Structure 1
Amino acid sequence: MMNLRQVEVFHAVMTNGTASRAAEVLRISQPAVSKAIQELEREIGFPLFHRAKGRLIATEEARLFFQEVASSFAGLIHLRAAAARIRDFGSGEIRIACHSALSTTILPKVLRAFQLRHPDVSITVQARMSSVVKDLIASGRFDVGLAADEIDVTGVDATPFIEQRLVIAVPADHPLAQRGVLHPADLHGMPFIALAPEDTARRRLDGVLAARGVMPKIVLETPYATTICAMVQAGIGCGLVNPLTTEPYLGRGLVACAFEPAIRSRSLLLLPPDRRPSRIVADCIEALRAFSTVGARRAAG
């Protein structure tokens, strides 16, 4: 029966031109090369080489057969490379689930730095609501998650990731845009684009406003900070958002104003429970934590 060793010897002879050179590459004797070729010829039923004065001259059938062998060896080389990546780093892919506010702000910057170190790693990213992010991590379908802190963390390994002071996004032509710092009374009766009711930041803002008898006019609700920014840019109203989310909109119809008293947003880093991260995943986590440390310093205030 034809075996991989016989095919490997044939490949070495065709690639290196002579049996003696193939023997050197394979670190076997030249008689062992000749024996393997003879056995392969018996198995496949046609000659691969003409023998002339101690030399092996490939037949036309051998050249056709070599095309198929070379294709198979390319697959083996790919498998060896994949095995090396797994040996050195773990899985050759990483799956990240992230809530909206960070998926368009922090995550692209982190993944750019990560990709420069690991250009061959396949990356899958899904931007989902924080509750869905948690479920994807708890089920083990994704390797790393970033979620807002309103979720129930049962079933995941959750640690603090980043905390930021939120801002009020205001249309550039709105009277409040010139204030710089806004207070609860400034929002009374104003068209307001609110985060979803379950969002922790929304609940914190609601508590601050209720304590002062302030009632903005909620014209739209959405769980996504990027959607709030787009609506603010369109002039629909104001909204409470992560300052990083406003960056692409600043100077393009949107102004970010500080808010007093401070309302902060906290995000969590989620990992599957009871599973040691591969080296690739660990490196990604390290990159995320490095960025969160820098981001925390920038957001202090």
Structure 2
Amino acid sequence: MKITFKQVDAFRTVVSTGTVTEAAAMLGISQPAVSRLISDFEAEVGFQLFQRSGRVLVPTDEARLLVEEVRQAVSGMEHIKDSATAIGKFGHARLNLVITPGVSSQLAPDLLQEFSATWPKAMARMEIAPSDDAVEWMVSQNYDFGITTTQPANPSFDSLVIRNSDVCCVVPTGHPLAEKTIVQAQDLAGKSFISYMPSSRFRFEIDQFFEAKGISRQMQYETRTTDAVCRLVARGLGVSVVGASLEYLKTIPDCVALPFAAPLTFRAVLFWSKNKPLSAVGQSFLKIVQSQISDD
């Protein structure tokens, strides 16, 4: 089987656009060239990829199964291309950081801003992974640092706690709870509650806390980032318990942050692999983080 990258890319693009015309425009080649690539790809894989419905090409069931593998393969190729470009443009001055959604809008941007002042010509990549486990895997592969909400259990990582603060309850402006000086768990009984995604360990800790107290919430909305949770709260869709500083939460319009009475803390942990030496850029980033901790 001789499958080419051009065939794979054409297949992925046609699935995304639904027509050969739009796929040709996106790929910068002619429509006959796209049709030929799809035909050759079908010959290689041994089954039909599309059925025509008017002007639209509808993927077959087999094509839908194949396209997920194709997207991962193309993503890997694009990563190689980006890495090659970065090496050519920036040499070895590159920082790869992967974080969980819960801290994506809080700590990482500030750290990268400080990093850019020290390394103004370096390339920095901030990837957001769906779970702590995904972050740990990516750091073990090729990322310099990860930031998660829990201490990695894997002994092959070094780590540093960069944030350890109380959690907050967030409610919409004008909500009856907004007048309280501190919110109790019982105050949220029966309320529409906006949660982090089930893959979040911080979400697990929050759920365990309410279950231990026998308090039921109306679990109606889920999202990944603290910023998204607070924006949904600001729209009046519910209340939540989040891991973020009061200073950060005060920047979100129409969202009131209040102390929450619970033995819960929000932790942000920077970690890196012991199995590979840090580059000069990585060592500099670590010093920046350590400096910020000492200043707090």
TM-score (normalizing by structure 2): 0.63
Q: Which residue pairs with 1:217 in the alignment?
A: 218
Q: How does 1:241-256 map onto structure 2 within 5 Å?
A: 241-244=242-245, 247=248, 250=251, 252-256=253-257
Q: Does 1:161 align with 2:162?
A: yes
SS at structure 2 position matched to 1:109: helix
Structure 2 counterpart of 1:38: none
CA distance, structure 2, for counterparts of residue 261 and residue 163 of structure 1: 14
Shift of 1:149: 0.9
Is the contact made by 2:157 and 2:274 (CA closer than 8 Å) also made in structure 1?
yes
Matches within 5 A, 1:233-272: 233-244=234-245, 247=248, 250=251, 252-272=253-273
Aligned match of 2:207: 206
Pick aligned residue for 2:134 from 132, 135, 142: 132
Question: Contact 1:182–1:259 at 8 Å: present in 2 too?
Answer: yes
**What do the CA deviations read for 1:58-80 (whole angstroms, capped 9, x no partner)?**
xxxxxxxxxxxxxxxxxxxxxxx
Q: Deviations over 1:33-85 (max 9, x none)?
A: xxxxxxxxxxxxxxxxxxxxxxxxxxxxxxxxxxxxxxxxxxxxxxxxx99x9
For 1:134 and 1:228, the matched residues in 2 are separated by 24
Shift, 1:237, TM fit? 0.5
Displacement of 1:162 after TM fit? 2.1
- The answer on whether the counterparts of 1:138 and 1:272 sit within 8 Å (CA) in structure 2 is yes
Within 5 Å, give how 1:97-112 maps onto structure 2: 97-112=98-113
Partner letter of residue 218 of structure 1? M
- Larger mean CA deviation between 254-263 and 105-114 belongs to 105-114
Shift of 1:262: 3.5
Q: Which residue of 2 aligns with 1:181?
A: 182
Q: Cα distance 1:148–1:155, how it changes in 2: closer, same or farther (>3 A)? A: same
| CA shift digits 1:4-60 (9 cap, x unpaired) | xxxxxxxxxxxxxxxxxxxxxxxxxxxxxxxxxxxxxxxxxxxxxxxxxxxxxxxxx
Contact 1:162–1:268 (CA under 8 A) maintained in structure 2: yes
SS of 1:255's partner is strand
Note the C-alpha offset of 1:234: 1.1
Query: What's the offset of the Cα at 1:258?
Result: 0.6
Q: Check 1:162–1:293 CA distance in 2 against 1; reply closer, same or farther (3 A cut).
A: farther
1:81-96 to 2 correspondences below 5 Å: 91-96=92-97
Unaligned 5+ segments in structure 1 are 1-81, 296-301
Match of 1:120 in 2: 121
Q: Look up the equivalent residue of 1:111 and give its one-letter code.
A: L
Q: Distance in 2 between matches of 1:142 and 1:252?
A: 34
> Which AA in structure 1 matches 2:253?
R
Is the 2:226–2:244 Cα contact (8 Å) retained in structure 1? no
Deviation per CA, 1:97-124: give whole Å up to 9, x if none.
Answer: 1222322212222221221121111111
What is the CA–CA distance in structure 2 between the aligned matches of 1:125 and 1:273, rounded to whole Å? Answer: 21
Report which of the two structures shows the higher radius of gyration computed on alpha carbons. 1
Q: Distance in 2 between matches of 1:99 and 1:252?
A: 24
- Alignment coverage as a number of residue pairs: 208
Task: Give per-residue Cα distances to partners, 1:163-198, cap 9 Å, x unaligned.
Answer: 121101111121111113100110100100112334
- Specify whether residues 266 and 248 from structure 1 end up closer, same or farther in structure 2 by C-alpha distance, changes over 3 A only: closer
Partners of 1:208 and 1:95 lie apart in 2 by: 35
Q: RMSD of aligned C-alpha atoms?
A: 2.6
Distance 2:202 2:293 in 1: 19
Alignment-derived partner of residue 49 in structure 1: none
Matches of 1:259 and 1:294, distance apart in 2:
26
State the one-letter code of the partner of 2:261.
Answer: E
Matched-pair contact (CA < 8 Å) for 2:151–2:159: no
1:175-229 per-residue CA deviation (whole Å, 9 max, x = no partner) reads 1111131001101001001123343332332233223221111111223222211
- Letter matched to residue 134 of structure 1: E
Match of 2:285 in 1: 284
